[in-house]
């Protein structure tokens, strides 16, 4: 086994300094992806910088403007149970509760999952639908990146060298929306074959799909169609077809590309109807 | 090689040890502490056989470094009960034939302990969902579900 040094700094700036100084160093959050990759010999970092002692990365906080700031080290289980997430923001709690199994949710964190950038994972479409912002901190300071710009390709994000995800921010506006997360997986606890995150509000519609492209898939035409057609069956059918056209699915163990294309319209309809069934605000 | 000093309480007993940073909690439990009831099947989080409780919550010991458990309380299958004094869930597995080869059983039991803490009377669907991350190659799961139902019944004071 290669020699790996371990650090668990208490300060965020110390973690950033260690990461920025060595491009073979890796941050460790819940380890539910990283340790599995190490076990499979896919990586051999020179240093592991565990983020678990850093207070600035913890906690879920509702701010005075109604936005919610979720520290990167918040676990999936913590998010799924959080009562700070209310109304439209429940979408994210719903997605968190569908990740893997309880033992995975007890350790895995939103920061680690977002930084990993897996397009079949549950947070990316949920965050895009909620118009969330990723707060990144690196050697050059802090910046806020909209979720729709953050996910750039398969396992590729906007994070630069030495930069980490510090928090996820949910804007107050979509708290007013009716939202739903619909996940279709082969078995409970698997990654999605296709997933649909939807937010509906008086002024518009946002839909993001997971598992059907290198990044979460949206279609402005589909959203306009739904808005204009007032979510009628016909508008949903048209929007489903537009989203299929916008998607770029692959064949893999979780389903063929063709199968995924067939799932999209059905799941979109299911997700919209489920969101509508929630209490209007 | 830089070793890390850790203090871990396992099944109520405190251990002060030095570990290599990448030492897995599963290997630490099995090889350093010689508690071989925790099994290792896949080492990527999928089979559930290595499940232990860390501060009361289920975790995959194969996806947790021992250093990350510094200061934590771990409970393994050895801490659940003994042959003379079985935990109600172990009695359930005994009565309902919840195991054949036994490889998956420690992970099944530790997962079920957490389930019953949250839901003392789980439905069949809730049991199946909780076990979705624990693979069994022998039983077909039916007797495991029945064993957990039986364990819950015994915990509720049933005979
Ligand atoms: C059996 C199993 C089933 C799963 N099922 C699902 C599922 O259904 N849906 C789903 O979405 N996910 C699933 N996952 C993945 C799970 O969500 C992981 O928890 C998550 O992908 C990684 O989070 P982590 O905290 O464990 O990160 P780690 O494994 O610690 O880190 C992951 C990566 O991100 C980096 N990193 C960690 N934290 C940060 C940070 N704050 N800033 C920058 N980089 C960071 C690490 O260096 C590493 O490259 C599953 C995993 C397993 C093992
Ligand atoms: S050995 Fe840990 S989940 Fe399989
Ligand atoms: S009893 Fe053999 S794997 Fe479950």
Domain boundary among A120, A147, A170: A170
Q: Quick one: B53 and B101 in the same domain?
A: no
Instruction: Return the pLDDT at A230.
Output: 95
Q: Is the pLDDT at A175 greater than 90, yes or no?
A: no
**CA–centroid distance, residue A152 to ligand 2 (Å):** 31
Instruction: Return the pLDDT at B111.
Output: 98
Q: Is the pLDDT at A60 greater than 90, yes or no?
A: yes
Any ligand 2 atom below 6 A from CB of B41: yes
Q: Is the pLDDT at A62 greater than 80, yes or no?
A: yes
Any ligand 2 atom below 6 A from CB of B43: yes
Mean pLDDT for the stretch of residues A255-266: 98
Q: Quick one: A154 and A188 in the same domain?
A: no
Q: Quick one: B39 and B94 in the same domain?
A: no
Show the domain range for B139.
Answer: 88-155
CB contact under 8 A, B64 and A36: no
Assigned domain for A200 exists: yes
Assigned domain for A35 exists: yes
Q: Quick one: A34 and A66 in the same domain?
A: no
Q: Quick one: B8 and B56 in the same domain?
A: yes
CB contact under 8 A, B2 and A1: no
Q: What is the CATH number of the domain that holds B112?
A: 1.10.150.120
Instruction: Return the pLDDT at B1.
Output: 54
Assigned domain for B83 exists: no
- Residues from chain B that touch A36, judged by Cβ atoms under 8 A, are 43-45, 63
Q: Quick one: A201 and A240 in the same domain?
A: yes
pLDDT tens per residue, range A115-165: 999 999 999 999 999 999 999 999 999 999 999 999 999 999 999 989 999
Assigned domain for B82 exists: no
Domain boundary among B77, B107, B140: B77
Assigned domain for A281 exists: no
- Residues from chain B that touch A103, judged by Cβ atoms under 8 A, are 45, 48, 51, 58-60, 111, 133
Q: What is the CATH number of the domain that holds A115?
A: 3.30.465.10
Assigned domain for B133 exists: yes
Q: Which ligand number lies closest to the CA of residue A138?
A: 1
Domain boundary among A142, A170, A198: A170
Mean pLDDT for the stretch of residues B18-45: 97
**CA–centroid distance, residue B100 to ligand 3 (Å):** 5
Q: Quick one: B66 and B117 in the same domain?
A: no
Q: Quick one: B68 and B107 in the same domain?
A: no
Q: Is the pLDDT at A275 greater than 70, yes or no?
A: yes
DSSP three-state, residue B101: coil
In what helix (H) or strand (E) does residue B89 lie, and over which residues does it extend?
helix B88-95
CB contact under 8 A, A104 and B60: yes
Instruction: Return the pLDDT at A4.
Output: 86
Assigned domain for B149 exists: yes
Q: What is the CATH number of the domain that holds A29?
A: 3.30.43.10
Q: Give DSSP secondary structure letters for chain A.
A: ----EEE--SSHHHHHHHHHH-TTEEEESS-TTHHHHHHTTS---SEEEE-TT-GGG--EEE-TTS-EEEETT-BHHHHHH-SSS-GGGHHHHHHHHTSS-HHHHHH-BHHHHHHHT-TTSSHHHHHHHTT-EEEEEETTEEEEEEHHHHEEETTEES--TT-EEEEEEE-SGGGGSEEEEEEE-SSTTSPPSEEEEEEEETTEEEEEEESSSSS-B--HHHHHHHHHTTT-HHHHHHHHHHHHHH-----BTTB-HHHHHHHHHHHHHHHHHHHHTSPP-
Model-level ipTM above the cut of 0.90: yes
Domain boundary among B77, B101, B117: B77
Q: Which of B94, B137, B140, B148 is the pocket-test mutation for ligand 3 (most atoms within 8 Å of CB)?
A: B137
Among A253, A87, A255, A73, residue whose Cα is nearest residue A175: A87
CB contact under 8 A, A103 and B24: no
Q: Quick one: B64 and B108 in the same domain?
A: no
Q: Which ligand number lies closest to the CA of residue A57?
A: 1
Q: Quick one: B71 and B92 in the same domain?
A: no
Is this prediction's pTM over 0.95?
yes
Q: Quick one: A144 and A231 in the same domain?
A: no
Hey, what are A169's tokens? 């921010």
Q: Is the pLDDT at A3 greater than 90, yes or no?
A: no
Instruction: Return the pLDDT at A1.
Output: 52
Report the number of distinct structural domains present in chain B: 2
Q: Quick one: A201 and A97 in the same domain?
A: no
Q: Quick one: A62 and A161 in the same domain?
A: yes
Instruction: Return the pLDDT at A50.
Output: 98
Assigned domain for A113 exists: yes
Assigned domain for A240 exists: yes
Q: Quick one: B9 and B73 in the same domain?
A: yes
Phi, psi (degrees; rounded to nearest 5) at A177 = -80, 160
Mean pLDDT over the full length of chain B: 96
Mean pLDDT for the stretch of residues A226-244: 97
Q: Quick one: A166 and A185 in the same domain?
A: no
Report the number of distinct structural domains present in chain A: 3
Mean pLDDT for the stretch of residues A102-106: 98
B35: which DSSP letter? -
What pLDDT band is residue B158 in, cutting at 50, 70 and 90?
Answer: confident
pLDDT tens per residue, range B94-149: 999 999 999 999 999 999 999 999 999 999 999 999 999 999 999 999 999 999 99
Q: Is the pLDDT at A100 greater than 90, yes or no?
A: yes
Q: Quick one: A183 and A159 in the same domain?
A: no
Which B-chain residues 47-106 have CB contacts (< 8 A) with chain A? 48, 51, 54, 57-60, 62-65, 67-68
Assigned domain for A87 exists: yes
Assigned domain for B61 exists: yes
Any ligand 2 atom below 6 A from CB of B62: yes
Domain boundary among A170, A203, A219: A170
Assigned domain for A27 exists: yes
- Residues from chain A that touch B65, judged by Cβ atoms under 8 A, are 6, 28, 31, 35, 48
Q: Quick one: B148 and B96 in the same domain?
A: yes
Q: Does B125 touch chain A (CB under 8 A)?
A: no
Show the domain range for A250.
Answer: 178-276
What pLDDT band is residue A173 in, cutting at 50, 70 and 90?
Answer: confident
What pLDDT band is residue A2 in, cutting at 50, 70 and 90?
Answer: low
Q: Quick one: B110 and B65 in the same domain?
A: no
Among A227, A236, A248, A224, residue whose Cα is nearest residue A273: A236
For chain B, give the percent of residues with pLDDT over 70: 99
For chain A, give the percent of residues with pLDDT over 70: 98
Instruction: Return the pLDDT at A174.
Output: 86
Tally A–B CB contacts below 8 A. Answer: 85
Instruction: Return the pLDDT at A6.
Output: 95
- The minimum CA-CA distance between A221 and chain B, rounded to whole Å, is 38
- Residues from chain B that touch A107, judged by Cβ atoms under 8 A, are 59-60, 63-64
Q: Is the pLDDT at B64 greater than 90, yes or no?
A: yes
What ligand 2 atom has the least distance to the C-alpha of B63? 2
**CA–centroid distance, residue B50 to ligand 3 (Å):** 13
Assigned domain for B105 exists: yes
């Amino acid at each position: 086994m290669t020699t790996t040094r371990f650090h668990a700094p208490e300060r965020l700036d110390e973690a950033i300094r260690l990461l920025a100084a060595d491009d073979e160093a890796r941050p460790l959050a819940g380890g539910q992806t990283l340790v599995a990759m190490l076990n499979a010999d896919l990586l051999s970092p020179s240093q592991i910088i565990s983020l678990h002692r850093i207070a600035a990365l913890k906690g879920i906080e509702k701010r005075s403007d109604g936005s919610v700031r979720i520290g990167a080290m918040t676990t999936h289980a913590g998010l799924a149970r959080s009562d700070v997430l209310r109304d439209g923001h429940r979408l994210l709690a719903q997605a968190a509760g569908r990740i893997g199994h309880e033992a995975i949710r007890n350790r895995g964190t939103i920061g680690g999952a977002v930084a990993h950038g897996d397009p079949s994972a549950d947070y990316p479409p949920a965050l895009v639908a909620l118009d969330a912002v990723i707060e990144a901190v690196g050697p050059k300071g802090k910046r806020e990146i909209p979720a729709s710009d953050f996910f750039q390709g398969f396992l590729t994000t906007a994070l630069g060298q030495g930069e980490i995800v510090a928090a996820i921010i949910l804007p107050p506006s979509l708290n007013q929306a009716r939202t739903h997360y619909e996940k279709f997986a082969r078995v409970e606890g698997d990654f999605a074959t296709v997933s649909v995150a939807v937010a509906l509000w008086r002024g518009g519609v946002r839909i993001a799909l997971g598992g059907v492209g290198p990044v979460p898939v949206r279609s402005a035409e589909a959203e306009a169609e739904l808005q204009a057609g007032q979510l009628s069956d016909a508008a949903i059918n048209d929007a489903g077809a537009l989203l299929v056209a916008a998607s770029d699915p692959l064949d893999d163990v979780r389903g063929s590309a063709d199968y995924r294309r067939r799932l999209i319209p059905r799941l979109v309809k299911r997700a919209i109807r489920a969101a509508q069934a929630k209490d209007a605000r | 090689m830089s070793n890390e000093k850790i203090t871990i309480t396992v099944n109520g007993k405190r251990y002060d040890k030095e570990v290599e940073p990448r030492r897995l909690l599963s290997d630490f439990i099995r090889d350093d502490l010689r508690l071989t009831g925790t099994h290792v099947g896949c080492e990527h989080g999928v089979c559930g056989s290595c499940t232990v409780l860390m501060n009361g919550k289920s975790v995959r010991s194969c996806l947790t470094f021992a250093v990350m458990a510094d200061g934590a309380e771990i409970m393994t299958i050895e801490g659940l009960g003994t042959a003379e004094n079985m935990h109600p869930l172990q009695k359930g597995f005994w009565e309902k034939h919840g195991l054949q080869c036994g490889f998956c059983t420690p992970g099944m039991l530790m997962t079920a302990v957490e389930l019953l803490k949250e839901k003392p009377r789980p439905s069949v669907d809730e049991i199946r969902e909780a076990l979705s991350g624990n693979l069994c190659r022998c039983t077909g799961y039916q007797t495991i579900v029945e064993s957990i139902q039986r364990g819950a019944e015994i915990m509720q004071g049933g005979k």
